[in-house]
Amino acid sequence: MKRVISVVGARPNFMKVAPIDRAFKKYSDTVEHLIIHTGQHYGAKMSDAFFQELEMPKPAVFLGISSGSHAEQTARIMVEFEKALLEVKPDLVIVVGDVNSTIACALTAVKLHIPVAHVEAGLRSNDRSMPEEINRLATDAICDFCFVTEESGMKFLKTQGFPEDKTYFVGNTMIDSQHFALQKADRSNILQETEIEKGKYVLVTLHRPSNVDEPEQLKSILKVVGELSEKRDVIFPIHPRTRKNIDSFGLNELLKNVKFIEPQGYLDFLALMKNADFVLTDSGGIQEETTALQIPCITVRKTTERPVTVEVGTNILIEPTPEAMKTAIDDMLTKPRKQGQTPPLWDGRAAERITEIIVTQILHY
């Protein structure tokens, strides 16, 4: 019997690991799959709801790390994860995405000579001011196997000389979760609860440090969101980082028509995306989720590490300036919309491919 650990830490990790856990069930005679939760995100809204709604088993180990500076958070995760690894002794560690938990756990495992697979490898924004970009660069540089969601990642890893026989183009496990949950999301009451109508509202999410941590930048973006809310219903599930900054910079007045709600669980948020007129965001994952749903998305960021969402999907990337935002919103309200297609292999079966490769080619059953 071999043992595989998948690490989850922050909100965007849960939907990437849930399908992997499910797909490993087919191999339960030979592989024991365990989830370790670092606790980077915690509590009912940011963490627990996702386990229930994605039908994930409780984590085998919870490291209870919570918030802190990047160095503190990363270091505390490493210290606690090392203890867990010494106890569990896995044959492989899977890390997903680009959050602090991803690099912290990858680094801890390779130092103990435990092989590491990175799911969602090879993505690059080429913007080193993003903490996630540093996490991606560092994780890909030290991991043993790369599972890749889109062609740009394959190309990039090739240019870096990452061994081609250890790089696998498998599709997107985040989209596996979307397929799994789409029907259930239709039973969500979130539209009624928030008094908005299908197809008639704009869904907004903002949490990137580059957009929300600096008062003038946050103010200029929120001003445009406030103006949009004069024309359309705007619903804004608000990330703790953004909530804190709006309050401390005294910006609530700009948003008096905006419907703020708490961070949402997976199913309610999926219902909000699926039924939106369009989405305005600075998230990484939402660019992919809206592309798969074929819902128009304006991404307020200088760069994207997920270019397929712009090249093939419904995503439009714009500079995070009020002028660019106003033009993009105006176009969205008055002109024909960009039509998108589903990127290759985003078919709901990425986790099946990943687990088959792990079992047959990495663990050699």
Cβ 165 to ligand UD1, closest distance in Å? 30
Does residue 133 bind ligand UD1 (CB under 6 A)? no
Return the number of the residue (115 or 284) whose C-beta is nearest ligand UD1: 284
DSSP 252: G
Q: Max CA-CA distance within the chain?
A: 61
- State how far the Cα of 230 lies from the Cα of 226, in Å rounded to an integer: 7
Does residue 96 bind ligand UD1 (CB under 6 A)? no
Return the number of the residue (84 or 238) whose C-beta is nearest ligand UD1: 238
Active site residues: 207
Sole binder of ligand UD1 in the list 28, 30, 43, 200 (CB under 6 A) = 43
Query: Nearest-CA neighbor of 336 among 296, 308, 281, 292?
Result: 296
Does residue 40 bind ligand UD1 (CB under 6 A)? yes
Does residue 99 bind ligand UD1 (CB under 6 A)? yes
CB of 329 within 8 A of CB of 224?
Answer: yes
Does residue 118 bind ligand UD1 (CB under 6 A)? no
Does residue 12 bind ligand UD1 (CB under 6 A)? yes
- State how far the Cα of 174 lies from the Cα of 289, in Å rounded to an integer: 8
How many residues of this chain interact with ligand UD1, rule: CB under 6 A?
18
Does residue 131 bind ligand UD1 (CB under 6 A)? yes
Does residue 344 bind ligand UD1 (CB under 6 A)? no
Return the number of the residue (150 or 282) whose C-beta is nearest ligand UD1: 282
Return the number of the residue (194 or 210) whose C-beta is nearest ligand UD1: 210
Does residue 41 bind ligand UD1 (CB under 6 A)? yes
- State how far the Cα of 273 lies from the Cα of 310, in Å rounded to an integer: 17
Helices and strands of the chain, counted as H and E runs: 17, 13
> 3-state secondary structure string, 286-332?
HHHHHHHHCCCEEEECCCCCCCHHHHCCCEEEECCCHHHHHHHHHHH
Question: Interacting stretch for ligand UD1, rule CB under 6 A, among 38-46, 79-87, 169-177, 321-329?
Answer: 38-46
CB atoms within 10 A of CB 43: 12
